[in-house]
Structure 1
Amino acid sequence: MKIVVVGGSGHIGSFLVPRLVRAGHEVVNISRGTSTSYVDAPEWQQVEQVVADREQQDADGLFGETVLGLRPDVAVDLVCFTHESATALVEALRGNVAHLLHCGSIWRYGKSRKLPIAEGGDAAEAPLDEYGVEKDRIARMLKQESANGGLVTTTLHPGHIVGPGWHPINPLGNLDPAVWAAIAAGQPLQVPGSGTEMMHHVHADDVAQAFEKAIENRDAAAGEDFNIVAPTALSVRGYADIAAGWFGQTATLEPVTWDEFRANTTEQHADASWGHLDRSQCFTIEKAKARLGYAPAYEPEQAVLESLRWLIDNGRLETPNPLKV
């Protein structure tokens, strides 16, 4: 099959595109042409590269034509963030493409009410921010499109994506490198909340695996949503303890109020922590396992450790003590 991947040079695409080439597909990557994949692989030599500014083409009403002009059997959209953009692509591809796969987000769900959170149902509140609201609107629109007999669509909702080349969400739910330095040094870590809040990571290659399996199992994936996360989730307390062990340390957690936490970090880091910890999410992947054969290879801590090792080895993260694992 000919598969067009929109945004294939990003976190997921870095692993998905080589997977699709190895599976024997003809692959085209549409990107802005401003970056390369996070992980190099020989399969990229066989990929056709198309440069397009999606935001500008969406504004001009041309992006759907760009994708359609490549005559794909399947389109994988990894970088769509608004209902308007998703709708325009659906209208262009309807009747012309066999399958559209969209990358959603677990932030289509708000605060957890029951754990684990399954697709649909009442296990989580409504989304909390514009990003989550738009991802939820897109997922619902795509599901309805397929239910109405239109374009066959599938939406995959990854957790907090982890992989070599970028910083993982840390035990405090943000990207502050000082958190890793404190953990590596065995210093007390100020923790807002109870320490029992949950975060659900996933390795980028496991997300890529899920997309590949949804393409292979089109009938089972048609019109469906799937949560795509690691087999287990991490609590703040457990995550910090596991991470400290990588540096030969024991985690020391210092409970603080949210006001105290905000006073001792930047607004950006505090907002990120609140966004992750206030949701306190943990998901089930039973639907993806049963329908698609999804079988994640990474536990969340394994994915984070791989990412940390890459960052340290490549001079992107400095820690006072080296990894001991």
Structure 2
Amino acid sequence: MSTPTVALVTGATQGLGLALVEGLARRLGPDGTVYLTGRDFDRINRAVEAVPAGGATVRGELLDVAEPDAAARLAAQLRQRHGGVDIVFGNAVMRVGPDDDPRAIVDRYTEVNNFGTTRLLRAFAPLLRDHGRLLVVASSLGTLHHLAPVLHDRFAAPASLDEVDKEVAAWRDAVADGSARAGAWPGFVNIPSKIAQVAAVRALAAQRREDDLARDILLAAVCPGMMNTPTSALWWDVSDQPTPAAAAVALLDLVLRPARPDHYGQLIRDGKVLPWSPFESGPADPVPARTSSRR
């Protein structure tokens, strides 16, 4: 008798996160459990109530990835309840608008988007059961193509999550004190942040690759593409872009279908690997004239 599937989605009270919960609940069936997590109890409860009935059990859990010990505490609870997890989507994100001053928001921004990502990886990768999937929702901007060559060595091949955190902290401090503006860093904070997210996945994957591939575990970053959301609409016209529910389909397919070894540790969009550096083959997206704050 197979063990019921346990899934967890961070940043799941709206948008893509909620769409992923709804899709997992529908596709896993009544024996599964999906944890819908966020940082506000009221929003969590409303989101859980909004999920259509008839599929997997959806449970709300408080998880603020910006809190240093929160991911580890929840991981310990799920280990006790279920013995492990099967699917994790790291989707928590702090959004940034065109009028936000990067110097004012960069501390909270990196706590959620970057240190929140590495905390999630540290806490939940060890809980993955055989055939498990852990995907970090990032962006096609999360490649070295979008970073000045003089900065590539900071993220090209980090040896550990601690090393990624160190580079993120240095960039954060440079943004906060204004020195990043005089250097080679891009002005749009989403670019270094997304690159660091993908670098974190690559760093952990390099350490776990052999064992994970033997156990059919997939660890990867994913790009859902541009979506029609209120935040993206602050930057440009997204009226003809897919809804979060439509964008979630490719991500759900990735975790519910057999894993491809060539996807391991990579950034995936629509089932294809996006090249990490300009020296790898394959197309990379140019930075749009007005770049989305989400993906």
Question: CA shift at 1:84, angstroms?
Answer: 3.2
Which stretch has the larger CA shift, 91-100 or 137-146?
91-100
User: After superposition, where does 1:1-325 map in structure 2 within 5 Å?
Assistant: 1-23=5-27, 24=29, 25-32=32-39, 33-35=41-43, 36-37=46-47, 40-43=50-53, 46-58=57-69, 61-71=72-82, 72-79=85-92, 81-82=114-115, 84-90=118-124, 92-93=126-127, 98-109=132-143, 128=186, 129=189, 130-150=192-212, 152-163=218-229, 166-169=230-233, 174=235, 202-220=242-260, 223=264, 224-228=266-270, 276-277=288-289
Question: CA shift at 1:104, angstroms?
Answer: 1.6
The structure whose Rg is larger is: 1
Partner secondary structure for residue 211 of structure 2: coil
Question: CA shift at 1:105, angstroms?
Answer: 1.6
| Residue type at the aligned position of 2:210 | N
Q: Deviations 1:207-244 (Å, cap 9, x if unpaired)?
A: 31122111211423751431249xxxxxxxxxxxxxxx
CA RMSD of aligned residues (A): 4.1
* Structure 1 Cα separation of the partners of residues 71 and 7 of structure 2: 24
Q: Deviations 1:99-153 (Å, cap 9, x if unpaired)?
A: 222212222036679xxxxxxxxxxxx9944312322212322542452324531
Question: CA shift at 1:98, angstroms?
Answer: 2.2
* Structure 2 Cα separation of the partners of residues 38 and 277 of structure 1: 37
Partner secondary structure for residue 148 of structure 1: helix
Q: Where is the helix percentage greater, Structure 1 or Structure 2?
A: 2
* Structure 2 Cα separation of the partners of residues 4 and 212 of structure 1: 13
Partner of 1:265: none
C-alpha spacing 1:90/1:97, structure 2 compared with 1 (3 Å): farther
> In 2, are the aligned partners of 1:86 and 1:138 still within 8 Å (CA)?
no
* Structure 1 Cα separation of the partners of residues 123 and 139 of structure 2: 19
Question: CA shift at 1:12, angstroms?
Answer: 0.9
C-alpha spacing 1:144/1:10, structure 2 compared with 1 (3 Å): farther
Partner secondary structure for residue 232 of structure 2: coil
C-alpha spacing 1:218/1:70, structure 2 compared with 1 (3 Å): farther
Partner secondary structure for residue 13 of structure 2: coil
Partner secondary structure for residue 162 of structure 1: coil
* Structure 1 Cα separation of the partners of residues 207 and 129 of structure 2: 12
> In 1, are the aligned partners of 2:224 and 2:270 still within 8 Å (CA)?
yes
C-alpha spacing 1:142/1:205, structure 2 compared with 1 (3 Å): farther
How many residue pairs get aligned? The number is 197
Partner secondary structure for residue 89 of structure 2: strand
TM-score (norm 2): 0.52
Question: CA shift at 1:160, angstroms?
Answer: 2.8
> In 2, are the aligned partners of 1:4 and 1:27 still within 8 Å (CA)?
yes
* Structure 2 Cα separation of the partners of residues 227 and 59 of structure 1: 29
Q: Deviations 1:19-54 (Å, cap 9, x if unpaired)?
A: 222221322212222524499442399411112333
C-alpha spacing 1:147/1:202, structure 2 compared with 1 (3 Å): farther
Segments of 5+ residues of structure 2 without an aligned counterpart are 93-112, 148-183, 272-286
| Residue type at the aligned position of 1:10 | Q
| Residue type at the aligned position of 2:202 | R
C-alpha spacing 1:202/1:227, structure 2 compared with 1 (3 Å): farther
> In 1, are the aligned partners of 2:125 and 2:134 still within 8 Å (CA)?
no
Q: Deviations 1:273-318 (Å, cap 9, x if unpaired)?
A: xx741779xx9xxxxxxxxxxxxxxxxxxxxxxxxxxxxxxxxxxx
Partner secondary structure for residue 226 of structure 1: strand
> In 1, are the aligned partners of 2:139 and 2:194 still within 8 Å (CA)?
yes
* Structure 2 Cα separation of the partners of residues 100 and 204 of structure 1: 19
* Structure 1 Cα separation of the partners of residues 58 and 71 of structure 2: 27
Partner secondary structure for residue 98 of structure 1: strand
* Structure 2 Cα separation of the partners of residues 60 and 155 of structure 1: 18
